[in-house]
C-alpha cells in the first residue's frame, strides 16, 4: 500500500451535462479497471452539489508523473473522453495527490 499512488480528482460538471459525464466517466473507469497497475476507484457525488463529483483512485504507479505518462497520455480508450471533457465541465478538473500515513 505504501508504494501505491492515491489521489482524488474533482470534477465540476455543467448541470445539463451531468448524465453525459457520468456515462462517459463510467465507460473510462470500466476500461481503466482492466489496467495492470489499477488498484481501485470510487466515484462520489457531493451530497449538497449535484454537479460536483470526486473520483478516488489508487494505482500501482510510482508517481503522478508515471501515472500521467502510463495511463493518461497513451491510452486509446481515453482519447474520446478527453476530447469531450472540456465541453462537459464548468472548469478544469483538479487532481490532489495523497500521501498515505497509515492503513488499518
How far apart CA 97 and CA 56 sit, in angstroms, is 10
Please give the model's pTM, rounded to 2 decimal places: 0.90
Mean pLDDT by 10 residues, the chain (104 residues): 86 98 97 96 98 97 91 87 96 94 84
Q: What is the per-residue pLDDT for 39?
A: 96
Q: What is the per-residue pLDDT for 40?
A: 96
Q: What is the per-residue pLDDT for 74?
A: 79
Q: What is the per-residue pLDDT for 104?
A: 86
Cell 488498484 locates to 39
- Residue-range domain boundaries for the chain: 5-98
Task: Determine the CATH number of domain 5-98.
Answer: 3.30.70.100
Query: N- to C-terminal Cα distance for the chain?
Result: 11
Amino acid at each position: 500500500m505504501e508504494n501505491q499512488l492515491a489521489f482524488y480528482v474533482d470534477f465540476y460538471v455543467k448541470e445539463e451535462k451531468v448524465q453525459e459525464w457520468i456515462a462517459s466517466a463510467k465507460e473510462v473507469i470500466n476500461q481503466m479497471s482492466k489496467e495492470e497497475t489499477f488498484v481501485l476507484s470510487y466515484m462520489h457525488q457531493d451530497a449538497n452539489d449535484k454537479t460536483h463529483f470526486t473520483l478516488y483512485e489508487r494505482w500501482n504507479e510510482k508517481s503522478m508523473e508515471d501515472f500521467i505518462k502510463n495511463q493518461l497520455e497513451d491510452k486509446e480508450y481515453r482519447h474520446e473522453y478527453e476530447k469531450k471533457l472540456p465541453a462537459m465541465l464548468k472548469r478544469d478538473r483538479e487532481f490532489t495527490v495523497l500521501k498515505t500515513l497509515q492503513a488499518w
